[in-house]
Amino acid sequence: MDEIELGSVRVAEMMNREPSVVEETVVLRDVTQVLRSQSHVWVVKSQESREVVGIVTERDFLDPLSRLPDMTYATGVPRTKSLYHGDWPQLRIS
């Protein structure tokens, strides 16, 4: 694998240019449909303005449903491209 120097890679080269986005007026049922395939959803004021007002994750739904307030959840499947689960080239911070 090639080595990546984090000090030389710009965010624009790595970012997702088409993230999952919903308007803040969307009902939660519709957000759950998006969360079935994505780890998070950006919430915007409107599709036209694209002004980000928040982010929703799967955990945001699970925490209020827990009967045990200190309970935490691990959901989903490990993504192969994860700092925790490997499949990344060697990273060197410079």
Q: Return the CATH number at 45.
A: 3.90.1280
Give the residue numbers spanning the domain of 24.
4-11+19-92
Own/partner long-range contacts of 29-34 (Cβ < 8 Å, ≥24 apart): 31/56, 32/61
Q: pLDDT digits over 36-50, tens only?
A: 888 889 999 998 998
Predicted TM-score (pTM) above 0.75: no
- Higher per-residue confidence, 35 vs 77: 35
Does 85 have pLDDT greater than 90?
Answer: no
Output phi, psi for 92, to 5 deg. Answer: -130, 120
Domain count, the chain: 1
Mean pLDDT of 50-59: 90
Does 72 have pLDDT greater than 50?
Answer: yes
